[in-house]
Structure 1
Amino acid sequence: MPTNLHRVFISAIEPSADAHCAALVRRLLQVAPTIEIIGIGGPKMAAAGCRLIADATERGQVGLGAIRQVWYFRRLFGQVEALIEGNRPDIVVVCDSPSFNFHVARIAKARGIKTVFYVAPQLWAWGAWRAKRLRALCDKLCCILPFEKGWFEARGIPATFVGHPMLEQMADLCGNMKSYQDLTKRGPRIAIMPGSRTSEIRSLWPAMQQIAIKLRQVYPSADFTAVAVNKTWQDRLQASQDRDLQCHYSIDTVYQTAKASDLALVASGSATVEVAAAGCPMVVMYQTNRIAWHLIGRWLVRPRYFCLVNLIADRPLVREFVPYFHSIDPIVEHTLSLLADRLTLERLSRDLIETVLPLGQKKASVETCRIVLEGLGLPGPLQGAFTSL
């Protein structure tokens, strides 16, 4: 093992990025325990061995809601810049959140430091013109969706498909295919997943509760479980729970809850991949500012589908209500039609698993660890260590 100290800086400001990078931190320290890892992250990265300068995971937001956080993040940029000046890292890894991490990468590149982007920014969905900027900021792009590699390489950005981090700990996905033969003899088990960002939860949690209440009017024995990203958000969900809703709560158990559920109401985002891996049919929702959507959003967002599962399948595998502005009645109607059709539910369960299976062919944390070590100039003596990962 090399005895010289190498320093890695990691930036992750959302709960999902905290989880992805925690696995990466564990891999790096497992293979090269002399590496010093510093960064912005959350409790999972800290537990894995990263020394945090700040925890911004509860402030990660998208859209207009982020405006309220401008001053916080400006101060955070100052902290990052001071740390990079005073404790120069050998490589900087940024994970997701391009609106924040493009700035972090710019700080690094201005000082001649190599950068790795873990989770490609979704420029193929909107903002393709930013590819030129990404090309200037990124030494290596770690893609978690198979089709991304070709898209970015065609624009001159060195990219590698590393696998999806959410699937690397999941075994025997084919065993998750559901049977609904007994559904008519019991109440349906329905998961409610309003997301991990403040803006998502504020817009989706009230609507999802009203949908659940209407579903229970048809299925009085229906059982609902809401998944919160952490204890803080569980407390907030419970505090704003509608008094007409009876609901269980679970923390950070998207995959496990989906495995135990017949159907899920899910915020559009990375959770849909976990729900698909669990073989759980879903209805996908997202909400945004109506004025901003009609003035700007509908002209900028280009893909045929919003849901990641539909993008991977390249067909409308699950129904998307993205965005929805009017009544929840069409969502309720579609959900009821699914619950009444056992064969469609079973087909969906099978198709969802088959769609995401290719994402788990590689271990994302292992592949990204290898790329980081190569960036540090350490691959030679450490290659043998990967055989045990």
Structure 2
Amino acid sequence: MLVIKRLKRGWGRGASVRASGEYTRGRARLERRGGGRRRPCGALSGWNPPSRVDIRRSFASCSPVPHTHDNTRTGPRSVLFTAFEPSGDEHAAVVIRELRRRDPSLVIHAWGGERMERAGAVVVERTGLAATMGMPGLAKILEHRRINRRVESWVKSNRPCLHVAVDSPAANFPICKITRAHGASVVHLVAPQMWAWGSWRVRKLRRLTDHVLCLLPFEPDWFEARGVRATFVGHPLLDHELDEEAIEAAVHGFPEGSPKVAIMPGSRPSEITANFPMMLETFRRIRERQPGAACVVAATTERVRERLREIANEWGGWPEGMDVVVAGVDSATRWCDLAIVVSGTVTLHVARQHKPMVVIYRVNKFTYALVGRWIIAADHIALPNLVAGRRIVPEIAPKTNDDPAPIVEQAMRLLDDADARRAMRDDLADTMRRFEGRSAATGAADAIEQTLRELRPALVGAT
């Protein structure tokens, strides 16, 4: 009854009102404050409140939410990218580079990182230096609220016609609401992993996006079934060929030994702190059984390398036979017999070279018991398993304690069994074929340009 009363007062958020051309609440609030020019909405004239049957049908149809866009802008086209994690910076950079290659006059601003800046974006504020995964603390929440206020101020002054939100739905959703309220179109680059946990969030996504660009082949069907326009564009990681010459040169400098174990501890400070102590102890125990074992740890940045050294000093020192490299994931993967990997995009780095791996991810025991166990819906966590639709690599996640025994057990099983390693390599090769023939940069740039043509027709010829 409350929904029906709100719809009859003309400000409700029901799908049937949106379908008839009603303003979004955010846009209406903006206009009442004098922040936007009122535009006629012809469908409202003579509008009759929908019946209860109409309301039920509208919600049941689960169709994407049309958005009233501002086609009155003049001047150069302007696009805003927002990314808040190192992986988002990497994903966005390849798309920005392709957009700028196609149209050097396209103005791209960003809340982002160094890669986005090098690709051609004008970075308004640097982000991604202390990304978190899972439930953020109070300090992080307050920080993002301050960022949101600065973004809103910037949007009011610069009025981008398109907002590309990159991954990080918790950080990006409030910004999408801001940009949408100011008349911008919204495209999501990297689909929020709602198929894995928190599937109810898809209702918010329907309100806040025009198009979701998916990196994994199974995602579009999931979103389309829930009324969200979605397209599989491929994965940016696979857009470029491996630099064989650089990889071989790096491998020659790695330590000798057998078996060779690569450790990939992730990029986020929180996941490094949670997982690296277990990984250290895992290698120590492998070396107890195989005294000739060697290890290379792949750090994403110099800052991560320093943090890894600090953690090792706190947990018994740096093990003998272990080395660390910066930005050397591909070379460490080529060198190793087995990789021990924190769940994330790095698993695709390992999978593209068809190397056996053990995937881990430690979570807070109390948070998982109270919340995580009830909202995680996916059968798998590791990306190779998700893409394959079955478990082809062992995953020890979510892990709620720091006992390395299960990791050691899976690692030794693979190191001792050549047939098991060969079968895993074959499965990984078959899985990675699903990405063949795709270029994420090209596919995402095509979709963004199409969005500009569809939703900003007045701007296509403005430059």
CA positional deviation for 1:7: 0.8
For residues 218-367 of structure 1, the aligned pairs below 5 Å read 218-241=289-312, 242-246=316-320, 247-326=322-401, 327-367=403-443
Among 131, 139, 160, the residue aligned to 2:210? 139
Among 223, 228, 236, the residue aligned to 1:165? 236
What's the TM-score, normalizing by structure 2?
Answer: 0.76
Q: Give the structure 2 partner of residue 78 of structure 1.
A: 149
Which amino acid in the other structure matches residue 421 of structure 2?
L
For residues 69-218 of structure 1, the aligned pairs below 5 Å read 69-170=140-241, 187-218=258-289
CA positional deviation for 1:280: 1.1
What is the alpha-carbon distance in structure 2 between the residues aligned to residue 323 and residue 89 of structure 1?
A: 40
Aligned residues of 1:309 and 1:317 also touching (Cα < 8 A): yes
Per-residue Cα deviation, 1:21-63 (whole angstroms, up to 9, x for no partner):
1111110110000011111111111111111122221121022
Equivalent position SS for 1:39: strand
Aligned residues of 2:235 and 2:435 also touching (Cα < 8 A): yes
Equivalent position SS for 1:356: helix
Which amino acid in the other structure matches residue 357 of structure 1?
R
What is the alpha-carbon distance in structure 2 between the residues aligned to residue 364 and residue 34 of structure 1?
A: 22
Aligned residues of 1:4 and 1:34 also touching (Cα < 8 A): no
Q: Give the structure 2 partner of residue 59 of structure 1.
A: 130
- The structure with higher relative contact order (CA 8 Å, sep 6+) is 1
Which amino acid in the other structure matches residue 162 of structure 1?
V
What is the alpha-carbon distance in structure 2 between the residues aligned to residue 251 and residue 377 of structure 1?
A: 42
What is the alpha-carbon distance in structure 2 between the residues aligned to residue 320 and residue 308 of structure 1?
A: 10
Aligned residues of 1:168 and 1:360 also touching (Cα < 8 A): no
What is the alpha-carbon distance in structure 2 between the residues aligned to residue 324 and residue 152 of structure 1?
A: 29
CA positional deviation for 1:375: 2.0
CA positional deviation for 1:171: 6.1
Gaps of at least 5 residues in structure 2 are 1-73, 248-255, 458-463
What is the alpha-carbon distance in structure 2 between the residues aligned to residue 198 and residue 316 of structure 1?
A: 28
CA positional deviation for 1:4: 5.7
Which amino acid in the other structure matches residue 222 of structure 2?
W
What is the alpha-carbon distance in structure 1 between the residues aligned to residue 328 and residue 242 of structure 2?
A: 16
What is the alpha-carbon distance in structure 2 between the residues aligned to residue 76 and residue 99 of structure 1?
A: 13
Equivalent position SS for 1:258: helix
CA positional deviation for 1:168: 1.3
What is the alpha-carbon distance in structure 1 between the residues aligned to residue 199 and residue 428 of structure 2?
A: 28
Which amino acid in the other structure matches residue 255 of structure 1?
D
- Pairwise CA RMSD: 2.2
Per-residue Cα deviation, 1:165-201 (whole angstroms, up to 9, x for no partner):
111113699xx9xxxxxxxx95011111111111110
What is the alpha-carbon distance in structure 1 between the residues aligned to residue 326 and residue 162 of structure 2?
A: 33
Q: Give the structure 1 partner of residue 94 of structure 2.
A: 23
CA positional deviation for 1:347: 1.6
> May I ask how many residue pairs the two structures share in their alignment?
368
Per-residue Cα deviation, 1:301-360 (whole angstroms, up to 9, x for no partner):
011111111111111111111122342112112211110001111221121122122124
Gaps of at least 5 residues in structure 1 are 177-184, 381-389
Which amino acid in the other structure matches residue 376 of structure 1?
L
Q: Give the structure 1 partner of residue 32 of structure 2.
A: none
Q: Give the structure 2 partner of residue 387 of structure 1.
A: none
What is the alpha-carbon distance in structure 2 between the residues aligned to residue 129 and residue 324 of structure 1?
A: 25
Equivalent position SS for 1:302: coil
Larger Rg belongs to: 2
The reply on whether 1:372 has 2:443 as its aligned counterpart is no
What is the alpha-carbon distance in structure 2 between the residues aligned to residue 72 and residue 287 of structure 1?
A: 25
